[in-house]
Amino acid sequence: STQAAIWTRVSTDRQHEDNQIPDLERLCQHRGWEITQRYEIADASAYKGEHRHALQRMLDDAHRGEFSVLVVWAVDRLSRQGIEELLRLIRQLRERNVSLVSHQEPWLNGSDATTELLAAVAAWVATQESARRSERIRAGLARRRAEGKPMGGAASKRGKDKRPRRTEGYKQAWARRNAAT
């Protein structure tokens, strides 16, 4: 039977790998593929490349022939670093005789030149989406700053940080600055 690897990646606490895994498992089961590898990456940005170590491990496993199909939720789960990066990954998979199968983009499944063209379009769309999201976030923060509203930020999973901090020197510098005014 065909050996498959599942690749999941989530970049925020609000996303969860468990949202992707059941659908990918069903897809493999439906096609009669045996899942031999799982790459589950949490809190890693594909735009910033924070998941590179996992990508390299996956490519090394592919080179050893541990699977012949890589199943992803969507191509942007692999990379949002642009067309060249995604095409490089697809070519590396093809060199290792591994096909890429995307749950969200079934028209992308395969390993031929058409797949590369369609992947290039999908990569461009993912990059643009990521850039637009960043612009919206920056605009929203600028608006909140201009309105004098709190900037917020993600709450820590551990609650408020109550660790003691080094204060020597800081208080004296603050006192000197304020005494001069």
* Count of structural domains within the chain: 1
The per-residue pLDDT string of the chain (181 residues; one tens digit each, 9 = 90 and over) reads 899 999 988 765 444 556 788 999 999 999 999 999 999 887 655 445 456 788 889 999 999 999 999 999 888 777 666 678 888 888 898 899 998 898 988 777 666 677 777 777 777 777 778 778 888 888 888 888 888 887 766 655 566 666 676 666 667 777 777 776 6
Q: Is residue 163 part of a domain?
A: no
CA distance 77 to 4: 17
- DSSP string covering 59-111: HHHHHTTS-SEEEES-GGGT--S-HHHHHHHHHHHHHTT-EEEESS-GGG-BS
Q: Is residue 146 part of a domain?
A: no
Give the length of the chain: 181
What is the pLDDT, as a whole number, of residue 47?
46
CA distance 48 to 45: 5
What is the pLDDT, as a whole number, of residue 147?
85
Q: Is residue 70 part of a domain?
A: yes
16: containing domain: 3-135
Q: Is residue 101 part of a domain?
A: yes
What is the pLDDT, as a whole number, of residue 59?
93
CATH number at residue 16: 3.40.50.1390
Q: Is residue 177 part of a domain?
A: no
What is the pLDDT, as a whole number, of residue 133?
80
